[in-house]
Every structure is written in structure tokens, then in C-alpha cells.
Amino acid sequence: MDIFDALTLAGGLSLFLFGMSVMGRALERRAGGKLRSLLGRLTSSRAAGLITGLGITAVIQSSSATTVMVVGFVNSGLMTLRQAINVIMGANVGTTVTAWVLSLAGIDSGNVLVRLLKPSSFTPVLALAGIILYMFCKGDRKKDSGLILLGFATLMFGMETMSGSVSGLRSVPSFQSLFVMFQSPVLGVLAGALLTAIIQSSSASVGILQALAVTGQVTYGAAVPIIMGQNIGTCVTAIVSAVGATKNAKRAAMVHLSFNVIGTAVWLALFCLARSLLAPAVLGEPASLMGIAVIHSVFNVLCTMLMLPLASLLEALVCKIVPDAKRPEEPAELDERLLATPSIALERCRAVAADMARTAADALRESIASLRSYSKETAEAVREKEDRTDHYEDLLGNYLVKLSARQISEADSAEAAKLLKMIGDFERISDHAVNLLESAEELEEKGLSFTKPARTELETLFDAVGEILDLSLSAFLGDDVAAAEMVEPLEQVIDDLKERMRTRHIIRLQHGICSIDAGFVWADLLTNLERAADHCSNIAGCVIDMRLRNNAHTHEMLRERRDGSEDSRQSYRAFAAKYLYAEQAGA
């Protein structure tokens, strides 16, 4: 092996790792909705957690990435430690998929149909299809599909390049002696752990081992300890990601390490015992690509079978290793670890935005209640909720900006932009709630009151604003387009109601029925209630845009309804009969 072979090996390794990264990220974007669905079905059931971890890892092709994601979930309080244990065990099995795909490179047959299964036969076709999808097709889904094919083709080309560059090593004595040294189980485990810790991917390190296997110098006796060590090395990523996290997140990372260390120790001891007592001849034979894939899968399945019944003991162990914190810990509302999986991070943003929406709505309802009957307790609650919505706005705003800077799909980018707009509306609703509270405090401090007709009119407006708040909140929380469509007609009724109330109050002022001081408070109330309704209308419009962004025809139809369709006019007339005419009759 000369300098040129070494350069070819480095280039092949680079292409292999790059192809795996590109393919994994494209698979993740392409399957974003399915990832959310898998996590949505997650329960405390062992089987459900195991299947979830297996499925996610099979999709994104990295048990390290899945475990980092789990650490983020535990740190955010979205997953318990027991659930995390089940998912991590499933992830260890799911990571074996890559080795089986790479083992296809070892197919050697004269049969044409069998040869077609060899990657060198079909990856050029996949690369051609991938570049056509990526460069000439529109739409994120097609482009991501193209990147998946291109990433896979690059990965397999890198694998073949590595195999070709090291094939000459079969006759190099020093290389032969190197793998004779790895016959020592301890050295084999250390070598596998070190390599995997450096490249932070057990799938990639298994692929490198498969590439070296083409030399014929990697025996099954050397491959088994190396594969065991690779499972330990892959824990480094999760351990690093848990730095600065909550105690339960650290425990989740420690579960990953403990699971692999205990599994390796048990099965390595049995392996050494079997080799000493039975001395099976197969351990001295050269390992094939398929054989390495089998070992990788069998070892991970055996570890899972060993540890799955002992999950509660594993949980108790990591709780001893990572003791409870001296001070109570609050889970992270938005964990930056989840940014590595944008579709999951966006789903978490929606959950936090839902909390913000409920908080802002409660603040507005309580401020209206304070106008009916003022109390210091209600005033404190409104201000506390307004502070919380300010916190949510800063938190979500910064997080969504970081998320948008990632390579995400067009649909996810549009949803992130809409959420950024809506959190501004929620925050303004809470601001108007505080303004209404200040008006209530002014009425209380100055001993002011409205006339009976004015109070009747105000109650009608309170009811209308309460209904538009409920409709917009239901539209956002339930992604309910039907509720969103009803918001705009009601907002128009509130605008008309406000103008009528303002006009009538001016008449009362002219006749000396109301005082000037009460009139200033009245004007502030009408302005803040009407503007809160405007923000509800903005939220409903964003819900319609988010729900129907991929259906241009339906989107246009709903726009027409909002701008004066027959359905919109009917809704307006219904709300007018409920509020405008009722208010007029009361006046």
C-alpha cells in the first residue's frame, strides 16, 4: 500500500461519512411527519418504546442521534426516564440496518439477477435518478428524495473506494499482525470504542470494519470484540450532549452507556469462555461483509434481550450513579438538542406556543372579569400571565430563528414563520389584558362608574370578545379551519359594535349623563377590546394559511369567504343578530 492508496482510502472514508450524513438528514426531513407520529404513539409500554426507538433509528440511520434526541426529550420533561430506557434499547437494534445495506457490496455471483443486487450495479441508476430529482424537480419532498438517493450512492461509492484502496493490504505482514493483535478481546473492544468515539457513529465504524474485511485479514475472532467496543464508543455523543442538562437527562445518557457496557461485559465474558473451552474454528476464518452484519445484529438483539427484563434495575442503577440534585430542577421548555431533529423541534415549538396561547387567553378573560368585579388577586394573576407570555415570546422567538437557520423543508420553514407571527399576536393580547386591568384599577381608585346603558353595552362587547377569543384559540389549538373562518365576520361585528358604542357615549357626554373622566376610561376600554379582537383575527388567518398552504385552490376559496363570500355574509348576519341588534335593543 503506497501513498496513493492511503489518499484513496482517506477520500473513500470522507465520501462514505459524507454520504451517510446527507442520506440521514434527507431521510429525517422526508419522514418528519412520520417521526412526529411515532413519538405521538409513545407510551410507557416497553414494546411501544422499543419499536419507537427502532423505527426512528432505522429512519435517521444513527443511534447516537436518536439517543441525543431522547436526552433532549427527558431534559424537556416530555419523556420519563423509564420511557427513555425502552427507546434507547430499540435504538441499539435499529442501528444495525446500515450494516445490512452495506453488506450487499459483498455479493459475488455469476447470476445476472443476483448481481443486480450488488450496489455497484444499481447505485449509478440511483445517482442518476437522484440528481434528476434534486436539480430538475420542484418541491422539497422530491428534492429530499433526490438527496436520499445521492447520499446512498455516495455512501456506497465511498465504501467501494475504501475497499479497493485497502485490498492490497492482504499481503502486508504488519497489517496481518495488527489483526492478530486484535484477537485479544480487550484490545479489540478498546479499538472499536476508540474508533466509534472519534467518528461518533457506530454504523459508520461498522462500515469501515466491513471495508477492511475485504482484505481477508479480519477474522471473526477479531471482529466480534471490535463490534462490541463500537457499541460503547457510540455513547460518547449522548454523554457530551447531557452536559449541563437536568439530572434525568444525564441519567438517560448514563442509561445508554450502562446498557452497552453491561451488555458488552456479559457477552464478552461468554465469548471468551466459549473461545477458551470450545475453540470454534469459525473464529479463525476471514469475516465476510454479511457475517459482520449478522454479528452486529445478533449482538445488539442479545443485549436488548438481556437488559429489557432488567429495565427497572437499570433505572435504579443510573439513579444511584446520578443522584438527585440538591435543588429542584425545572425541565427545559425548549431544548436546543432537539434542533438536530427540526421536525421534532418544530412540534415542540407548537406545544410551547399552545401553552402561550392558553396563558394569553386566560389573561384577557381575567382582565375582563376584573372590570366586572375588581380584586387584587385577579390583578396579580393577570400581570403574572403577561410576564409569562413575554417570556414565551422571547423563548420561542429565539428558538424559531435558530430553527429557521437550519436546513429544513419548505413546509416546516413556512410553519416556523407563521408561529413567529402568531406568538407576537398572543403577546399583544396579554398586553391589552394588562391595559384593561389598568382601566379597572383606575375605575376602582377614582370611584368612577358607567351608566346602566353603558354597562349593558359593555357586557355585550365583553361577550363578543370572549367568543372571538374562544374561536381563535380553538382554531389554533385544534388546527380548526371551520372555527378560523368564523373569526373574521365576528371581528367585523366587533368593529361595528365599537363604533356604535363610541357614538352613543359621545351623545351621553353631550347630555351630561357621563363624566369626562369616565369617558376617557371608556375610550381606552373600547380600543383595547377591539385591538384584542384584531389579533384574534390575525391568529385565525395564520391558522388558515398553515393548514392549507399546499392547496392553492382551497386557500383561494377561503380567502374569498373571508373577503365577502355568501358564507361569510351569513356568519356576519348571525353575529350581528346576536350582538349588534341585541346591543341596540338594550340601548
Please calculate the CA angle 32-65-190 and round it to the nearest 5 degrees: 160
pTM across the whole model: 0.72
pLDDT mean over 345-350? 87
Q: Which of 434, 435, 432, 425 is nearest to 356 (CA)?
A: 425
Give me the pLDDT at residue 554, please: 38
Lookup: cell for 377? 388577586
**C-alpha–C-alpha distance, residues 233 and 228, integer Å:** 9
Query: How many Cβ atoms from other residues are within 10 Å of residue 117's Cβ?
Result: 12
Q: Residue 390 pLDDT > 60, yes or no?
A: yes
Q: DSSP assignment, residue 322?
A: S
> Is the CB of residue 454 less than 8 Å from the CB of residue 522?
yes
> Which residue has cell 468515539?
197
Give the pLDDT band (50/70/90) at residue 563.
low
Give me the pLDDT at residue 412, please: 81
Q: DSSP assignment, residue 118?
A: S
- CA torsion sign, 489 to 491 to 495 to 498? positive
- Greater pLDDT, 12 or 435: 435
* Burial degree of 448 (CB within 10 A; 0-12, 13-18, 19+): middle
Give me the pLDDT at residue 552, please: 38
- Greater pLDDT, 514 or 134: 134
Q: Residue 249 pLDDT > 80, yes or no?
A: yes
Give me the pLDDT at residue 140, please: 75
User: In this predicted structure, which of 27-36, 378-387, 476-485 has the lowest mean pLDDT?
Assistant: 27-36
Q: What percent of the chain has pLDDT over 90?
A: 24
Q: Residue 529 pLDDT > 90, yes or no?
A: yes
pLDDT mean over 222-242? 86
pLDDT mean over 88-103? 81
Give me the pLDDT at residue 111, please: 57
Angle between helix axes 202-213 and 63-76 (nearest 10 degrees) is 170
User: In this predicted structure, which of 18-22, 23-27, 98-102, 104-108 has the lowest mean pLDDT?
Assistant: 104-108
Lookup: cell for 566? 355568501
The overall average pLDDT reported for the chain is: 82
**C-alpha–C-alpha distance, residues 199 and 17, integer Å:** 9
pLDDT mean over 173-192? 71
User: In this predicted structure, which of 23-32, 329-338, 404-413, 477-486 has the lowest mean pLDDT?
Assistant: 23-32
The most confident of the ranges 174-188, 328-342, 402-416, 570-584 is 402-416
Give me the pLDDT at residue 242, please: 80
Give me the pLDDT at residue 555, please: 44
- Greater pLDDT, 165 or 436: 436
Q: Residue 586 pLDDT > 60, yes or no?
A: no
Q: What percent of the chain has pLDDT over 70?
A: 85
Give the pLDDT band (50/70/90) at residue 57.
confident
**C-alpha–C-alpha distance, residues 45 and 38, integer Å:** 14
> Is the CB of residue 27 less than 8 Å from the CB of residue 60?
yes
Q: Residue 490 pLDDT > 50, yes or no?
A: yes
User: In this predicted structure, which of 114-118, 245-249, 470-474, 490-494 has the lowest mean pLDDT?
Assistant: 114-118
- Greater pLDDT, 266 or 40: 266
Give the pLDDT band (50/70/90) at residue 122.
confident
**Residue 556, C-beta contacts closer than 8 angstroms, at least 6 positions apart:** none
Q: Residue 579 pLDDT > 90, yes or no?
A: no
Q: What are phi and psi of 95, to 5 degrees?
A: -70, -10
Q: Residue 550 pLDDT > 70, yes or no?
A: no
Give me the pLDDT at residue 278, please: 86
Query: How many Cβ atoms from other residues are within 10 Å of residue 247's Cβ?
Result: 18
Give me the pLDDT at residue 298, please: 92
* Burial degree of 108 (CB within 10 A; 0-12, 13-18, 19+): exposed
Q: Where are the alpha helices (DSSP H) in 200-339?
A: 202-213, 220-233, 235-241, 247-278, 289-307, 311-321
Give me the pLDDT at residue 210, please: 81
**C-alpha–C-alpha distance, residues 257 and 167, integer Å:** 35
User: In this predicted structure, which of 53-62, 82-91, 387-396, 481-490 has the lowest mean pLDDT?
Assistant: 53-62
User: In this predicted structure, which of 151-165, 438-452, 477-491 has the lowest mean pLDDT?
Assistant: 151-165
Give me the pLDDT at residue 388, please: 95
Give me the pLDDT at residue 171, please: 58
Q: Residue 583 pLDDT > 70, yes or no?
A: no
